[in-house]
Amino acid sequence: MAASAPATAGELLRIEPLELRFPFELKKQISCSMQLSNLSNDYIAFKVKTTSPKKYSVRPNTGVVSPRSTCDVVVTMQAQREAPPDMQCKDKFLVQSVVAPAAIAVKDVTADMFTKESGNRMEEVKLRVTYVAPPQPPSPVPEESEEGSPSRASESENGDGPAGGFTRALRERMEPHEKSSEAGALISKLTEEKNSAIQQNHRLRQELDMVRREVSKRRGGGFSFIIVIIVGLIGILLGYLMRS
């Protein structure tokens, strides 16, 4: 709805506001209202005109305001497909008012009553149209703790609270240290695996030497075909272990 603007204190009708402000949005109908106040003891007939009748609908566009009473008029702008240049609007409204016979009905109000030829006492008030930015949604309210204040623990964790700067700096200093500790642990593990493989290789060589000596004792220094195969398999196994 339109924001309040200065009203006119005419002799017949007091109109508020004098500027119709529409929160402009594309492809959306927008309504704005104005109030007509009759401060006199007469019946006042009125008629609302606009320079863009296809763009706006006015309800009611004609009527009667009883003595010492008011009448609300709603102006609706049809949905617009494109915004005007620089959001400037040149549309105008005109409110005409005349003194009407006592207890006149709305159906008896005619266009002839608002002509100069009718000889009626008539007033005319012009209203401007202005486009304004639509209202922004309210910002979300942070959740409160049981004591009724925002949770400081979450602020500290996110680095948004009073201690957030210290927490963030401490975290930045600890991260490289943690990464170097992880690298050191990985190197230690690889070193242990390498030492274990070397020890296992050494034991296999000793066992191979024992097998060779035992075979030499039993065969008198000759190697059978089966012994050669066994030695070859042991050599392949040792090569695989060394590559690992």
The domain spans of the chain are: 13-132, 186-243
| Bigger pLDDT: 6 vs 216 | 216
Least confident of 30-39, 87-96, 107-116, 223-232: 223-232
Residue 185, pLDDT > 70, answer: yes
Query: For domain 13-132, which architecture applies?
Result: Sandwich (2.60)
pTM, entire model: 0.53
180 contacts: CB under 8 Å, gap ≥ 6: none
Mean pLDDT of the chain, nearest integer: 81
Residue 4, pLDDT > 70, answer: no
Tens of pLDDT, residues 121-180: 899 999 999 999 888 777 776 665 555 555 454 544 555 555 555 556 556 665 665 666
C-beta neighbour count of 40 within 10 angstroms: 16
Phi, psi (deg, nearest 5) at residue 46: -135, 160
Determine the Cα–Cα distance for residues 18 and 34; give it in Å rounded to an integer: 8
Distances in Å between the alpha carbon of 171 and those of 56, 137, 151, 184? 61, 36, 20, 20
In contact, 208 and 216? CB cutoff 8 Å: no
pLDDT band at 1 (very low <50, low <70, confident <90, very high): very low
DSSP for residue 114 = G
| Bigger pLDDT: 177 vs 4 | 177
Tell me which range, 91-95, 150-154, 212-216, is most confidently predicted by mean pLDDT: 91-95
pLDDT of residue 161: 53
| Helix residue spans in the chain (DSSP H) | 152-158, 164-219, 225-243
Give the mean model confidence (pLDDT) for residues 189-200: 82
pLDDT of residue 143: 60
157 contacts: CB under 8 Å, gap ≥ 6: 167
Residue 2, pLDDT > 50, answer: no
Tell me whether the omega of the peptide bond preceding residue 60 falls within 30 degrees of 0, making it cis. yes
Determine the Cα–Cα distance for residues 5 and 17; give it in Å rounded to an integer: 5
Give the mean model confidence (pLDDT) for residues 42-59: 96
C-beta neighbour count of 231 within 10 angstroms: 15
